[in-house]
Amino acid sequence: MLTAAIIIVVVALLIFVFIYNGLIAKKNRVKSVFSTVDVLLKKRYDLLPQLVATVKAYMQHERGVLAEITEMRAKAVSQKLSNDEQVELDGKVTRMLGGILVAAENYPDLKANQNFLQLQRAMNEIEEQISAARRAYNAAVTDYNNAVEMFPTNLAARLMRYRIKKFFEISPQQREAVDAGKLLQS
């Protein structure tokens, strides 16, 4: 009788350890992927001054947008932003950049410029990588949220006070198709 009870207790403890470690692993995964997203975002912010400099001479009409981009970059680089603020800023910058690259189609001189072409490739690549990182982040968060909400791991999660995390979402206003016309006028 006693041995049976001991075995049950030991097995229960082992299961709990397993679940506990699993939750911690998932939480850390979310953190580590976010830090990679961070690194990629910084890489993009580093490319922005180059883009603005190359494009400024040609794109007279987009001066306003370019100034905004420079401003946003300064904000991102200088201040310490919370994760949510980072996400929001990222959304804004993506939208502005999209607008610039669309507007560039109207400037054949710019399109012939070797510097711009190389930059465009580099920007495409970094955008694609950021997109991949966002997706990986959302996958890590889904995994973590599943563990926090599903039985039986949710019991341990409640004990550890783990809450569900937010996804890298695009807010409704950013989801509007990039209105190149509007952007060009600003």
Q: Which residues bind another protein (CB under 8 A)?
A: 33, 36, 120-122, 124-125, 128-129, 131-133, 135-136, 138-140, 143
Distance from C-alpha of 115 to C-alpha of 110, rounded to nearest angstrom: 9
- Show the tokens assigned to 34: 């976010």
Contacts of 24 (CB under 8 A, 6+ apart): none
Closer by beta carbon to another protein, 72 or else 136? 136
DSSP string covering 8-28? HHHHHHHHHHHHHHHHHHHHH
Q: Is-contact 67 186, C-beta < 8 A?
A: no
Cβ proximity to another protein, 121 vs 158, nearer residue: 121
Q: Are 165 and 141 in contact (CB under 8 A)?
A: yes
CB 115 to another protein: min, Å? 15
Indicate the residue among 76 and 133 with the shorter CB distance to another protein.
133
Smaller CB distance to another protein: residue 83 or 120? 120
Question: How near is the Cβ of 123 to another protein at its closest, in Å?
Answer: 10
Q: State the nearest-atom distance from the C-beta of 158 to another protein, in Å.
A: 22
Smallest gap from residue 136 Cβ to another protein (A): 5
